[in-house]
Amino acid sequence: MKQIESTAVPLPIENIDTDQIIPARFLKTVKKEGLGDKLFYIWRKKPSFVLNNKNYSGEILVTGGNFGCGSSREHAVWALLDYGFRAVVSSSFADIFYNNSLNNGLLPVRVSEKFLKMIFLALKENPKVKITIDLNSQIVLVPGKKMKERFEIDPYKKLCLIKGYDDVDYLLSLKDKIIRFEKKRKRRKG
């Protein structure tokens, strides 16, 4: 993933916890597939909930601060990915959720409160407005509104997301270097 250009789903609610993202009763599986149907399960029963609104769709979820708080569960990230989200934009994330996202290929993008409010306003004015998240340059853009802001990400996790690596894939990518290092080390010892 180098860049995501998509419409977005606005969910301007603060402190959304992992049990709201996916209720605990759906955590009995270790399969990542099928969890998208359970995403925001309780809230989706209300016809007015944003995921039931055909005006909003896309690969980006824009949400209020402290997203993913509560208990630690990778299932929350899996449900978001299985539903079709590739990124979540917020002003803040719970630490464990943020790291689970990076480890599972979901891009969590932290923006300022001011920029987040501007995105919500742009989506309210036009549900089809496109948002671009450029991971290489670490910039979120709303080109139609001439809005942009830089975001921070750990360089190692950035590399993994760009290459499509998990931690094991990254180590395997270094296999030749590791073998050369071990050969040199053995020569010095022997």
Classify residue 124: in a domain, yes or no.
yes
144 and 178 fall within a common domain: no
The mean per-residue pLDDT over the stretch 44-57 comes to: 96
94 and 185 fall within a common domain: no
85 and 171 fall within a common domain: no
110 and 79 fall within a common domain: yes
172 and 137 fall within a common domain: no
User: CB under 8 Å, gap of 24 or more: what pairs does 95-100 form?
Assistant: 96/68, 96/72, 97/18, 97/67, 97/68, 97/69, 97/72, 98/68, 100/68, 100/72, 100/73, 100/74, 100/76
Determine contact, residues 56/8, Cβ cutoff 8 Å.
yes
What does the radius of gyration of the chain's CA atoms come to, in whole angstroms?
19
177 and 118 fall within a common domain: no
103 and 40 fall within a common domain: yes
Residue 127: predicted pLDDT = 96
- The CB-side HSE value for 28 (13 A sphere, CA atoms) comes to 2
143 and 65 fall within a common domain: yes
74 and 43 fall within a common domain: yes
94 and 174 fall within a common domain: no
Residue 173: predicted pLDDT = 80
Question: What does the block give as tokens for 180?
Answer: 């050369």
- Supply the DSSP string of the chain, one letter for each residue: --EEEE-EEEE--S--BHHHHS-GGG-S----TTGGGGTTTTGGGSTTSGGG-TT--SSEEEE-SSBTBSS--HHHHHHHHHHT--EEEES-B-HHHHHHHHHHT-EEEE--HHHHHHHHHHHHH-TT--EEEETTTTEEEEGGGTEEEE----HHHHHHHHHT--HHHHHHHTHHHHHHHHHHHHHHH-
76 and 144 fall within a common domain: yes
Residue 28: predicted pLDDT = 79
CA dist 144 and 135 (Å) reads 19
Q: Say how many domains are in the chain.
A: 2
Q: How many residues does the chain have?
A: 190
114-150 pLDDT per residue, tens: 999 999 999 999 999 999 999 999 999 998 888 999 9
**For the whole model, what pTM was predicted?**
0.89
Residue 185: predicted pLDDT = 76
Which residues have C-beta within 8 Å of that of residue 24, sequence separation ≥ 6? 71, 73
78-107 pLDDT per residue, tens: 999 999 999 999 999 999 999 999 999 999
Q: Is the pLDDT of residue 167 over 90?
A: no
172-182 pLDDT per residue, tens: 888 888 888 88
Q: Which domain covers residue 77, as residue numbers?
A: 3-153
